[in-house]
């Protein structure tokens, strides 16, 4: 049974239909890369999976459970699904440790006494252990993003969503974040990520999904999608990303 099963998903903002019947299956351990032009609905799809947006049609099932922005138990569900945003969204008034442990402590996942140890473990996974007492504003963008990933890991999610997590970074900082994501992939984390890093999609993803005008236009293995694109839209998109 697939971990994520999306069928005919529709989403509009007022009159603007942004997702026009999207169907997508994500198996456990899959690394799904969403690619496509800006405005094609990639972020909206991720936000729907996280229950951040109300939808107008279709279904989202995660772990055989129907997901919606208004469902009972949304909070418990979100504790099992991590999402990392382009702008990091760390809590600026808390140090790194507190950022990582706030949710696990408030939701009763760990006691206050165990929290420090949890923070250390999660920060070690993203190579940020030595910054445990730092404040967000003292960190580079790449470091902040790695803390944001550690913050999600602290909830021990079974699914991670990434929305262009390297797009706001200086080019020299992109690699350190991608490396963390690659490590997570290797350890079997199920991930759905929106990315403009085509080499990452090519090398790490198990499935690449090309979105266009609110629809899944083409999908397949990286080899198929990049090596043998079937539609002119995908061909145009791929050649536009070559520099």
Ligand X SMILES: Nc1ncnc2c1ncn2[C@@H]1O[C@H](COP(=O)(O)OP(=O)(O)O)[C@@H](O)[C@H]1O
8's contact among other proteins, ligand X, Mg ion, none, with CB below 5 to 8 A by partner kind, is none
What Cα–Cα distance (Å) separates residue 129 from each residue in 42, 85, 126, 184? 32, 21, 8, 17
Query: Smallest distance, Å, CB 176 to Mg ion?
Result: 22
* Residue at token pair 């890093």: 197
18's contact among Mg ion, other proteins, ligand X, none, with CB below 5 to 8 A by partner kind, is ligand X
Following DSSP, what letter does each residue of 110-156 receive, concatenated? S-HHHHHHHHHHHHHHTT-GGGTT--GGGS-HHHHHHHHHHHHHTT-
CA separation for the pair 138, 58 (Å, rounded): 44
For 109, the token pair is: 């996942």
Of 41-49, 117-125, 177-185, 196-204, the window that binds Mg ion (rule: CB under 5 A) is 41-49
User: If DSSP codes are grouped into helix, strand and coil, which group holds residue 57?
Assistant: strand
89's contact among Mg ion, ligand X, other proteins, none, with CB below 5 to 8 A by partner kind, is other proteins
CA 135 to chain centre: 24
Return the residues of window 68-87 that contact other proteins according to CB under 8 A: 75-83, 85, 87
CA separation for the pair 182, 57 (Å, rounded): 34
Letters for 65-104 (x = contact with Mg ion by CB under 5 A, - = none) are: ----------------------------------------
Binding site for ligand X (CB under 6 A): 13, 16, 18, 36, 38-44
Query: Smallest distance, Å, CB 43 to Mg ion?
Result: 3
Return the residues of window 98-137 that contact other proteins according to CB under 8 A: 102-103, 106-107
Binding site for other proteins (CB under 8 A): 50, 52, 75-83, 85, 87, 89-93, 102-103, 106-107, 151-152, 155
């Amino acid at each position: 049974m697939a971990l994520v099963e999306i069928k005919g998903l529709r989403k509009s903002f007022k009159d603007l239909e942004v997702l026009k019947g999207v169907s997508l299956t994500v198996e456990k351990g899959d690394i799904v890369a969403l690619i496509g032009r800006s405005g094609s609905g990639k972020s909206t799809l991720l936000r729907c999976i996280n229950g951040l947006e109300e939808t107008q049609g279709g279904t989202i099932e995660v772990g055989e459970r129907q997901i919606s922005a208004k469902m009972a138990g949304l909070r418990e569900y979100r504790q099992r699904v991590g999402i990392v945003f382009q702008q990091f969204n760390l809590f600026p008034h808390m140090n790194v440790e507190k950022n990582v442990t706030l949710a696990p402590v408030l939701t009763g996942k760990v006691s206050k006494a165990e929290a420090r140890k949890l923070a250390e473990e999660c920060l070690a996974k993203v190579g940020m252990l030595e910054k445990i007492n730092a404040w967000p504003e003292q960190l580079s963008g790449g470091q902040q993003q790695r803390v944001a990933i550690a913050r999600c890991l602290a909830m021990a999610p079974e699914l991670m969503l990434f929305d262009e997590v390297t797009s706001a970074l200086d080019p020299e900082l992109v690699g350190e974040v991608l490396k963390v994501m690659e490590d997570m992939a290797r350890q079997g984390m199920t991930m759905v990520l929106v990315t403009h890093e085509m080499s990452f999609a090519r090398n790490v993803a198990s499935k690449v999904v090309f979105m266009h005008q609110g629809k899944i236009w083409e999908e397949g293995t990286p080899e198929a999608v990049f090596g043998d694109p079937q539609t002119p839209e995908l061909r145009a998109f791929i050649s536009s990303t070559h520099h």
